[in-house]
Structure 1
Amino acid sequence: MSEYKVLFLDIDGTIIKPDDSIEETTIKAIRQVQEKGIKVFLATGRPLHEIRELADDLKVNSLIGYNGAYAIYQGEDLFQEPMNKKTVKQFIDIAKENKHDLVLYTRDQNIFTDLEAKCVKEFIEKFHLHKNDSYSPAKDYEVLGMTLINLESEDIALYKHEDQTHLSQVNVEGMHHCYDVIRDKVNKGIGVEYVLKHLGLVKENAIAFGDGLNDKEMLMSVGEGFAMGNGHPDLFQYAKHKTTTVNDSGIYNGLKTLGIIQ
């Protein structure tokens, strides 16, 4: 058996259940892994400024946020990859033309094209976002990630002219009309590979759990990739393992099959 050294965990649908709670078995599993000296990273599409409280509660101080654009290791910045400003402007223009809503994530804020839109308010409430502001064309934002909020599946094609990005449907109950903008060269998988290189580890030393299509690169970048039982149907082909759902101790049960926890 490989010697496992690092564990990467998605948040929504993997750690956090649809009712916004966390299974006690999940907390127990993270604690046991840490006690064995295995490093734990939260790896999320969320901006890091919005998950500090959760990270503190779980006693995790290593993070990959913005779908792989920014990472922190033991409280210190590891890397940061802002989006191309031209690409950001293109997405803003397409969203405006088609009456879609868009949020730009900077290092410190969530910038919404329309804070008053009903779907935006629901998005903010669902993900407990606090540092929100309205978009201003006059400002030069350094954008680390983006999410389109009120798309129909047929709208995805509108954004495919940009060949260095793709859209990933948010796998959260009530939020399937939302799509993260994923860069081909900046994603959770690239972030994981950077972390492994920094730590002097190989993929066989790493484990990851995820539920959404924005997790597929991450699951392929580790030796033991687990798709949650509640995962997007298209995700399972990219995972080495399928575990139980987030409501049924998915992380705990997955780690148990590796013999890491009891």
Structure 2
Amino acid sequence: MYKLIALDMDGTLLRGDGSISERTKSAIKEARKQGVKVVLASGRPLEGLERYLEELELTTPEDYALSYNGAVIKNVGTRETICSQLISGKDVQDVYAISQQIGVNTHAFSTELGLISPKVSHYTAHERDINGISLTLIDYNELSADHPIVKVMMVDEPEILSPGVEQIPAEYYERFTVVRSAPFFLEILNKNSNKGNGVSMLADYLGIKPEEVICVGDAGNDVHMLEYAGLSVAMGNAFDEIKAIADYVTHTNEDDGVAHVIEKFILS
């Protein structure tokens, strides 16, 4: 019996217009009635999840969410932080230096200042707007070396970002968790931060075994949690490499893929 289902947001739970279908909402509600934990696992900050948590009624002290690709795990009802794994101002400065060399834009998330960037690029404005958060313009060199940072991102048009990614020094992949969450987003986090570790730590906290966990995703930042899950599910619209590692491929995000998973593996 499955006791926890972790759902990626963009490209998975959400349709292209950012909405959640009524069928999916009904399936989630029925799963919760059976005692299954439904956990949103996203690269977004918690602020960017709140409207969906409220829409799905996942707002009690029994509900949890993974934000920033698992770097921060919180109890939604009490706001207690279950786990927080950060990087530093020095890390951001180093990543920014590389980004300048390869010609891509960046932004970062500070625990104290929120979304920060030296400039308002197209995808930084996109990050700000989809999450409904403010943006603070700042020279990264003004940050103290130990300034607490959740993650730093390289953000740009895919045709600019992709060749840029190929120029990132190999040691950065040893030093950080580096994941491609969208064609225009490359996320750089604490080496121990990823959705797989996040789901694992939450499951341990709740006394749930890996084989009792379903994880559903579509992109590169979902790989770790699919590798962890007892049942790994790729969306019909997922990247080919995600489908290749999944136990099951469901329908697309436009065709109630999440609802199909819940109905097939939990409600039946």
Relative to the length of structure 1, the TM-score reads 0.89
Q: 2:9 aligns with which of 4, 11, 14?
A: 11
Q: C-alpha separation between the residues in 1 aligned to 2:261 and 2:122?
A: 38
Q: C-alpha separation between the residues in 2 aligned to 1:13 and 1:58?
A: 17
Residue 95 of structure 1 corresponds to 99
Residue 152 of structure 1 corresponds to 161
Residue 261 of structure 2 corresponds to 254
Residue 83 of structure 2 corresponds to 79
Q: 1:228 aligns with which of 208, 223, 235?
A: 235
Q: 1:202 aligns with which of 200, 206, 209?
A: 209
Residue 168 of structure 1 corresponds to 179
Stretches of structure 2 lacking an aligned partner (at least 5 in a row): none
Residue 211 of structure 1 corresponds to 218
> What secondary structure is seen at the aligned counterpart in 2 of 1:148?
strand
2:166 partner letter: A
Change (3 A) 1:128 1:134: same
Residue 134 of structure 1 corresponds to 137
User: Are the aligned partners of 2:65 and 2:73 in contact in 1 as well (CA < 8 Å)?
Assistant: yes
User: Are the aligned partners of 2:103 and 2:164 in contact in 1 as well (CA < 8 Å)?
Assistant: no
Residue 63 of structure 1 corresponds to 65
Change (3 A) 1:24 1:217: same
1:170 partner letter: S
Q: C-alpha separation between the residues in 2 aligned to 1:131 and 1:18?
A: 23
**More moved, 22-31 vs 91-100:** 91-100
Query: 1:56-81, CA deviations, whole angstroms, 9 ceiling, x for partnerless residues?
Result: 22112411111111001353210101
User: Are the aligned partners of 1:14 and 1:251 in contact in 2 as well (CA < 8 Å)?
Assistant: yes
Residue 34 of structure 1 corresponds to 32
Q: C-alpha separation between the residues in 1 aligned to 2:9 and 2:31?
A: 17
Query: 1:101-144, CA deviations, whole angstroms, 9 ceiling, x for partnerless residues?
Result: 111112361112312x334334434x244222112332333111
> What secondary structure is seen at the aligned counterpart in 2 of 1:214?
helix
Q: 1:143 aligns with which of 135, 149, 161?
A: 149
Stretches of structure 1 lacking an aligned partner (at least 5 in a row): none
**More moved, 236-245 vs 144-153:** 144-153
User: Are the aligned partners of 1:44 and 1:67 in contact in 2 as well (CA < 8 Å)?
Assistant: yes
Change (3 A) 1:183 1:238: farther
Q: C-alpha separation between the residues in 2 aligned to 1:138 and 1:86?
A: 10
Higher share in helix: 2
Residue 181 of structure 1 corresponds to 188
Q: C-alpha separation between the residues in 1 aligned to 2:177 and 2:206?
A: 29
> What secondary structure is seen at the aligned counterpart in 1 of 2:148?
coil
User: Are the aligned partners of 2:128 and 2:134 in contact in 1 as well (CA < 8 Å)?
Assistant: no
User: Are the aligned partners of 2:153 and 2:187 in contact in 1 as well (CA < 8 Å)?
Assistant: yes
Relative to the length of structure 2, the TM-score reads 0.87
> What secondary structure is seen at the aligned counterpart in 1 of 2:267?
coil
**More moved, 183-192 vs 157-166:** 157-166
Is residue 2:116 matched to residue 1:111?
A: yes
> What secondary structure is seen at the aligned counterpart in 1 of 2:208?
coil
Query: 1:12-63, CA deviations, whole angstroms, 9 ceiling, x for partnerless residues?
Result: 1111111112111111111111111111111011111222222122112411
**More moved, 74-83 vs 160-169:** 160-169
> What secondary structure is seen at the aligned counterpart in 2 of 1:180?
strand
> What secondary structure is seen at the aligned counterpart in 2 of 1:114?
coil
> What secondary structure is seen at the aligned counterpart in 2 of 1:71?
strand
User: Are the aligned partners of 1:228 and 1:245 in contact in 2 as well (CA < 8 Å)?
Assistant: yes
> What secondary structure is seen at the aligned counterpart in 2 of 1:190?
helix
Q: C-alpha separation between the residues in 2 aligned to 1:230 and 1:103?
A: 27
What's the Cα RMSD here? 1.9
